[in-house]
Structure 1
Amino acid sequence: MKAALPPPRRPLGTLVLLACLLILVVASFASLPLQWSAFFTPEAVTSAREFLAGFAPPETGHAFLVKTAGALWETLAMSLVGTLLAVGGGMLLALPAAGRLGQALRAATRVLLNVLRSIPELVWAALLLVAAGLGPFAGTLALAAHTSGVLGRLFADALENVEPLPEASLRNNGAAPLAAFLYATLPQALPQMLSYTLYRWENNIRAAAVLGVVGAGGLGQMLKYHLSLFQMQNAATVVIAMLLLVAAVDALSFALRRALTR
């Protein structure tokens, strides 16, 4: 009979990392003043029920629905234009970030991408409102700035992970560097890059709906306005419009990804 194989040994570094993560989780719960008992008191339940009851029924007046539809289109346009700008910026940054223009430029571009995506869209919008003023322009630029950092990193990783032999073969047979990249490397990475773009567009729909809180236009600005005036029924209609928009874009993005992967 064959002897039973010993169980695999876990490296000491892995065990230390898991222990540190466990300590961090426990310390996080211990340091936060989480008052779970107060959340489920009869007074809290009654207050929540009365607050939610104020949203019914949603406002369905024709004039308000037309205004909501305009804000919905503004939110959709912000997300679409911001994503398209980010695709261009991300692609330009992905080429040096993938090491195609030298290792020194690769490191500098990676730092720039880290800065762009580490600043949330709300912070970008708050900064750009000073230069661009209130409205959807600042929100569009905020989405483009943050998403450029995200897509630039994802595009660069996709370009680095493609098979290099097809491009090298074209280069060895006399093809120009740009032509070899366009005909050999880019087609391999393009499906993954399109999938990343569609996924970020879904995220930008949600972000664009929230950016209005700082005055960047769209449904978020309407929601903040009506909530500040305690016009809950109007706010309910805006929230429903947000949900419908996100669901429609999610469904469209899913269908496009399915079509690209066939």
Structure 2
Amino acid sequence: MSARIDPAARGRGTAVVLAVVVLWPMLVLAEFKPWRLFDAGSLDVMAGFLSGFLPPSTAPDFLALLGRATLETLAMATAGTALAWLLAVPLAMASTQALSISRIGPARGLVLGRAARAGVRGALVFLRAIPEVVWALLFVRVLGLGPAAGVLALAITYSGMLGKVYAEILESGDTRAARALLEAGSGRRAALMYGLLPGASQELVSYTVYRWECAVRASVVMGFVGAGGLGQLMDQSMKMLNGGEASMILATFLVLVLLADALSGLLRRVLA
């Protein structure tokens, strides 16, 4: 009895070959040489560097600064995400086809509706194309050092990210209820609230919390350019070669990420 041949084997093999053909030049251009990490000299350098992080600093003065920096980071991430959400919701409503009234009539508004959605999507591309750290550098020059620059930088970049993903989530679900409401004369807000959100709320909330978690990480990075928070404190500790303080900052950052993950799970269970 001959062995059975997987009918999808040829397609999978072709996909693997194409992936290798495309990936290999990229790895060469990126000078990806992971085996160098295991050279004797590299291992000695990494061991010496990591040993400087132990033990974590528990000095009272430093812990007070760490607490303040943690609150600044949380405030920056939360305020930036909240402002981004306020911008993203109307942009997502304007760019999604599921809430397009022009698609159901009159016909003369179809072209104008498509042009408007294309313009909004172009704006979303622009907002998310420029990294938040670039905006942070600009706002630090305008507003000075501090978390205010980070809040504005996060609000601009994350509004583009949230708006794009919100629109895709709303369009990927069952849109028949929203279309029926629009055809019956309902407005976009009612179609969104009663036609789309019941089936997409979990995914929307989960992605929003995930983006807030990303905002916490991004706020740490922006701290290196003067936007305050844990990043600025980390920059000072690294410049002073104080590994104990740096390891405590990293541990605090890990706790924040774990809390964000727990919050996401809790909200998903509440909305289930």
TM-score, normalised to structure 1, is 0.85
Shift in alpha-carbon separation, 1:6–1:229, aligned structure 2, 3 A: closer
Query: What's 2:56 paired with?
Result: 58
State the number of aligned residues: 255
Query: What's 2:109 paired with?
Result: none
Supply the distance in 1 between the matched residues of 2:92 and 2:138 (Cα, whole angstroms): 25
Deviation track 1:181-238 (CA, whole Å, cap 9, x = no partner) reads 4333344433332222112112112111222111111101100111011122222221
Query: What's 1:208 paired with?
Result: 219
Shift in alpha-carbon separation, 1:170–1:110, aligned structure 2, 3 A: closer
Query: What's 2:176 paired with?
Result: 165
- SS in structure 1 at match of 2:7: coil
Query: What's 2:209 paired with?
Result: 198
For 1:113-128, list aligned pairs within 5 A. Answer: 113-128=124-139
For 1:34-183, list aligned pairs within 5 A. Answer: 34-36=32-34, 38-99=36-97, 100=100, 102-171=113-182, 173=184, 175-176=186-187, 178-183=189-194
Deviation of the 1:108 alpha carbon = 0.9
TM-score, normalised to structure 2, is 0.82
Deviation of the 1:257 alpha carbon = 2.0
Shift in alpha-carbon separation, 1:173–1:237, aligned structure 2, 3 A: closer
Deviation track 1:36-67 (CA, whole Å, cap 9, x = no partner) reads 55432323222222221111211111121111
Shift in alpha-carbon separation, 1:24–1:127, aligned structure 2, 3 A: farther
Is the 8 Å Cα contact of residues 96 and 117 (structure 2) preserved in structure 1? Answer: yes
Query: What's 1:29 paired with?
Result: 27
- SS in structure 2 at match of 1:248: helix
Is the 8 Å Cα contact of residues 97 and 106 (structure 1) preserved in structure 2? Answer: yes
Moved more, 65-74 or 152-161: 152-161
Is the 8 Å Cα contact of residues 182 and 191 (structure 2) preserved in structure 1? Answer: yes
Deviation of the 1:135 alpha carbon = 1.1
Moved more, 134-143 or 219-228: 134-143
Supply the distance in 1 between the matched residues of 2:182 and 2:36 (Cα, whole angstroms): 69
Shift in alpha-carbon separation, 1:171–1:143, aligned structure 2, 3 A: closer
Supply the distance in 2 between the matched residues of 1:177 and 1:210 (Cα, whole angstroms): 38
Deviation track 1:85-117 (CA, whole Å, cap 9, x = no partner) reads 111111011111114371111111111111222
Supply the distance in 2 between the matched residues of 1:243 and 1:218 (Cα, whole angstroms): 15
Deviation of the 1:180 alpha carbon = 4.2
Deviation of the 1:143 alpha carbon = 1.4
Is the 8 Å Cα contact of residues 202 and 253 (structure 1) preserved in structure 2? Answer: no
Deviation of the 1:171 alpha carbon = 4.7
Supply the distance in 1 between the matched residues of 2:144 and 2:153 (Cα, whole angstroms): 12
Supply the distance in 2 between the matched residues of 1:19 and 1:63 (Cα, whole angstroms): 57
Supply the distance in 2 between the matched residues of 1:6 and 1:249 (Cα, whole angstroms): 43
Query: What's 1:7 paired with?
Result: 7
Is the 8 Å Cα contact of residues 202 and 268 (structure 2) preserved in structure 1? Answer: no
Unaligned runs of 5+ in 2: 102-112
Shift in alpha-carbon separation, 1:47–1:198, aligned structure 2, 3 A: same
Query: What's 1:226 paired with?
Result: 237
AA matched with 1:243? L
Supply the distance in 2 between the matched residues of 1:6 and 1:60 (Cα, whole angstroms): 60
Moved more, 71-80 or 158-167: 158-167
Coordinate RMSD, CA, aligned = 2.7
Is the 8 Å Cα contact of residues 79 and 201 (structure 1) preserved in structure 2? Answer: yes
Is the 8 Å Cα contact of residues 209 and 260 (structure 2) preserved in structure 1? Answer: no
Is the 8 Å Cα contact of residues 87 and 159 (structure 2) preserved in structure 1? Answer: yes
- SS in structure 1 at match of 2:227: coil
Q: Percent identity?
A: 37
Query: What's 1:259 paired with?
Result: 270
